[in-house]
Amino acid sequence: MKIVVLDGYTENPGDLSWGGFEALGELTVYNRTKAEEIAGRIGDAEIVITNKTPISSATMEKCPNIRYIGVLATGYNVVDTEAARKRDIAVSNIPTYGTDAVGQFAIALLLEICHHIGHHSMEVRRGRWENNPDWCFWDYPLIELAGKTMGVIGFGRIGRTTARIAQSMGMKVLAYDEYRNPDFEKEGCRYAELSELLAESDVIALHCPLFPSTEGMINKETIAKMKDGVIILNNSRGALIKEQDLAEALASGKVYAAGLDVVSTEPIKEDNPLLSAPNCFITPHISWAPRESRKRLMDIAVHNLKAFLEGEPVNIVNK
């Protein structure tokens, strides 16, 4: 049985092993695959593993041996799942692997905004401290989080993880989710309507999926309902935010700062308005990427394929 990995580099740049897949078949790993190379590289393989390389209906037509497509991510919109279902091709994803890493990263964005650690470290290396007339200096307001309110939009596993870390720093937590679990309120969080969360939160963290109902949910209208000087965090999906609206709010000071690990089009385009917005911290979609998280992802991906081969498939998204 032939197994092809189309874009293995981001999942495994060399610090993990493909041994789990090698034990299940004849494995070929490509670091990256261009659009025109996809069908040729799949060839007569039965198993296709992809992260962001798209698998279209046309590709499936050209590669009739495909029986299984494993996506090395939670999101699986890179695969035409309906076309796969019609061809009896199973498509699996990795539903949970980076909960702790992504929650941790949301707080890392927040702490960088509060203290500008990277900036001040660089200034020390440039000699400003040794040549400073006072015994310390700071270039931005430094923010203490204890007593402030974090609003978490999307209170699933990652949202709850971010909330627990925020609570450990003395923050109060408001949560908004379409599906409420009363047990979570026993942890000291309180569910609120979206309008209340927007109005009362000092920090707003986005941890919700991208649906038609959530696309562009952070926009001129919702920002207007927020506190002056609010901080917005997003390491969920870039399209949750209307980027021009956020850029304008940052420029006016309505939004004090934004910490973003995702943008609407990735990699980011040079004309993205957030690149020139003040106090906007942007990282290249790396919340998920600690080695521990990627190792977990790899283990689950191997388990998904093994379960499929044993006739008891799991994490199938196109039943």
Task: Give pLDDT tens digits for 257-313.
Answer: 999 999 999 999 999 999 999 999 999 999 999 999 999 999 999 999 999 999 999
Share of the chain above pLDDT 70, in %: 100
Q: What is the reported pLDDT for 183?
A: 80
Q: What is the reported pLDDT for 185?
A: 74
**Average pLDDT in the 3-15 region?**
98
Structural domains in the chain, sorted by start: 2-97+291-309 (3.40.50.720), 99-282 (3.40.50.720)
User: Is the pLDDT at 318 greater than 90, yes or no?
Assistant: yes
* Residue pointed to by tokens 């870039």: 238
Q: Among 22, 4, 161, 1, which Cα is nearest to 69's?
A: 4
**Average pLDDT in the 9-20 region?**
98
Q: How many whole angstroms separate alpha carbon 197 and alpha carbon 191?
A: 9
Question: For residue 59, what pLDDT band results from cuts at 50, 70 and 90?
Answer: very high
pLDDT in tens, 197-233: 999 999 999 999 999 999 999 999 999 999 999 999 9
Supply the residues annotated as catalytic.
237, 266, 285
Length of the chain counted residue by residue: 319
pLDDT in tens, 150-208: 999 999 999 999 999 999 999 999 999 998 988 877 677 999 999 999 999 999 999 99
Contact partners, residue 255, CB within 8 Å, separation at least 6: 223, 226, 229, 230, 231, 232, 246, 249
Q: What is the reported pLDDT for 182?
A: 81
Q: What is the reported pLDDT for 188?
A: 78
Q: What is the 3-state secondary structure (H, E, C) of the chain?
A: CEEEECCCCCCCCCCCCCHHHHCCCEEEECCCCCHHHHHHHHCCCCEEEECCCCECHHHHHHCCCCCEEEECCCCCCCECHHHHHHCCCEEECCCCCCHHHHHHHHHHHHHHHHHCHHHHHHHHHCCCCCCCCCCCCCCCCCCCCCCCEEEEECCCHHHHHHHHHHHHCCCEEEEECCCCCHHHHCCCCEECCHHHHHHHCCEEEECCCCCCCCCCCECHHHHHCCCCCEEEEECCCHHHECHHHHHHHHHHCCEEEEEECCCCCCCCCCCCHHHHCCCEEECCCCCCCCHHHHHHHHHHHHHHHHHHHCCCCCCECCC
**Average pLDDT in the 27-45 region?**
98
State how far the alpha carbon of 213 is from the alpha carbons of 77, 155, 216, 218, 238, in Å: 17, 16, 8, 12, 14
Mean pLDDT score of the chain, rounded to an integer? 97
**Average pLDDT in the 117-121 region?**
97
* Residue pointed to by tokens 């599906």: 179
